[in-house]
């Protein structure tokens, strides 16, 4: 699937879930502290949400962020995924997430995040209900954890683990690409 098709698919999932939950654009926009215009553009595939935006949308709609990955395609072995089987989400801010898990119905999910130079999860802190962690495959990842005075910069082969509802944001503050394997429960 190409990037625009993936963006359109995400837009439809957000809109349909919002309508299923009987929320207006205004009600959802208020819950995620964004404008109705921005949310309308996201639902029409004209704008991409940041990681923080999609996390806020998923929390406001009562679903895990992994809900927004397309239904799985049939595979010969359900416990294996190949690159051509994977769903990709393209965020604003220079971040691309690839669902590496064979299923999102298990006890945990894995994402491979690609952060372009200067990429950021957004200005706001994420507040995801799942416990999560990551392993930096290449490059550098800077993480701001609410309550810590200074951010932490992780390098290739460094890892981290955050409790549920940790308030954090992250970025690649270098001029080189960064890849991170995220694990969510």
Q: Are strands 95-99 and 109-115 parallel, antiparallel or unpaired?
A: antiparallel
Given its phi and psi angles, is residue 125 left (phi above 0), alpha (psi -120 to 50 degrees) or beta? beta
- Among 36-40, 82-86, 148-152, which stretch is predicted with the lowest mean pLDDT? 82-86
Residue 51 has pLDDT above 70, yes or no: yes
Residue 60 has pLDDT above 70, yes or no: yes
R_g of the chain computed on alpha carbons: 16
28: three-class secondary structure by DSSP: helix
Residues 100 and 134: beta-carbon distance below 8 Å:
no
Higher pLDDT: 75 or 155? It is: 155
- Choose among 64, 47, 44, 46: nearest CA to 55: 64
pLDDT digits (tens, 9 = 90+) for 3-45: 777 878 888 889 988 988 899 999 999 999 999 999 999 999 9
C-alpha to C-alpha distance for 156 and 179, rounded to whole angstroms: 9
How far, CA to CA in Å, does 151 sit from each of 4, 103, 104, 129, 170? 34, 33, 30, 21, 9
Q: Which domains does the chain possess?
A: 3-68 (1.10.260.40), 83-184 (2.60.120.10)
Tell me the pTM: 0.77
C-alpha to C-alpha distance for 169 and 47, rounded to whole angstroms: 20
pLDDT at 3: 78
- Choose among 156, 146, 151: nearest CA to 180: 156
pLDDT digits (tens, 9 = 90+) for 102-128: 877 778 889 999 999 999 998 888 888
């Amino acid at each position: 699937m190409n990037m625009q098709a993936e963006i359109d698919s995400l837009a439809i999932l957000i809109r349909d879930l919002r309508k299923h939950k009987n929320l207006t654009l205004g009600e959802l926009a208020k819950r995620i502290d964004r404008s109705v215009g921005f949310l309308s553009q996201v639902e029409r595939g004209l704008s991409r949400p940041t990681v923080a935006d999609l996390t806020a949308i998923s929390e406001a709609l009562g679903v895990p962020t992994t809900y927004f990955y397309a239904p799985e395609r049939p595979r010969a072995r359900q416990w294996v995924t190949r690159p051509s089987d994977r769903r990709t989400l393209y965020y604003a801010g220079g971040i691309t997430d690839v669902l590496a898990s064979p299923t999102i119905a298990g006890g945990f999910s894995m994402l491979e995040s690609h952060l372009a130079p200067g990429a950021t999860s957004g200005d706001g802190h994420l507040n995801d209900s799942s416990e999560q962690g990551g392993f930096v495959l290449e490059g550098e990842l800077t993480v701001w954890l609410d309550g810590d005075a200074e951010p932490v910069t992780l390098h290739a082969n460094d890892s981290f683990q955050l409790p549920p509802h940790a308030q954090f944001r992250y970025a690649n503050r270098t001029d080189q690409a960064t890849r991170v394997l995220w694990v969510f429960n």
